[in-house]
Amino acid sequence: MIRKTFKTISTSEKLKNFTQKYNIPTEYLLPNRRMVSKGVLIGLFIAFIPMPMQMAAVVSLIPFTRFNVPIAISMCWLSNPFTMPLMYYMEYLTGSFFLGMETTPVEMTLKWFGDNIGNIFIPLYVGTAFYSIFGSLLGYSLVNCLWRGSVKKEREIRKNSKNATKL
């Protein structure tokens, strides 16, 4: 179903006019399995990294690889102001666990972060590496599996409808 939605959006006249007006290469908007799954991979990888301007980081990767840019940017929105504290706290706890360090109680104040940045920086980024790598690979694999399953199901339906019309 999502595949069909992508196809109808990609063939719309408004999108064609927009890409022509702003001279956007249409290859970055392709709704095929490879482009979408790479967009999910890159977007999720960047989303788990605690840094400002995550969408700019996604756009900076455009010259190096081809992927569906709108999908990647929307995956960055996974880490929004509501989800960031929980995501980064889980990354800190995971990094502390991997390093065998004791966790300190976290207070959500700038003073606490300023005083403790040296204690939380390394565990936070160890946890970030774990979630960025495995979360993005999981998203990539999941999109590929769901997409292939959707194609198989559509082929079976088409095959069964052809067989029913022959009888």
For 155, the token pair is 């082929």
Say if residues 110 and 82 touch (Cβ distance below 8 Å): no
Alpha helices for the chain (secondary structure H)? 2-10, 13-21, 33-47, 54-60, 69-76, 84-99, 110-166
pTM of the model: 0.83
At residue 159 the predicted structure's pLDDT band, cuts being 50, 70 and 90, is: confident
Which pLDDT score is estimated for 3?
61
Q: Map tokens 């999108």 to a residue.
A: 15
For 60, the token pair is 């900076």
In the predicted structure, residue 66 carries a pLDDT above the cut 70: yes
**pLDDT average, residue stretch 143-166:** 86
Report CA torsion sign: 136, 137, 139, 144.
positive
For 53, the token pair is 């301007």
pLDDT tens digits, residue range 75-95? 999 888 888 889 999 999 999
CA distances from 156 to 2, 143, 147 (A): 18, 20, 14
For 85, the token pair is 């504290």
For 111, the token pair is 């003073």
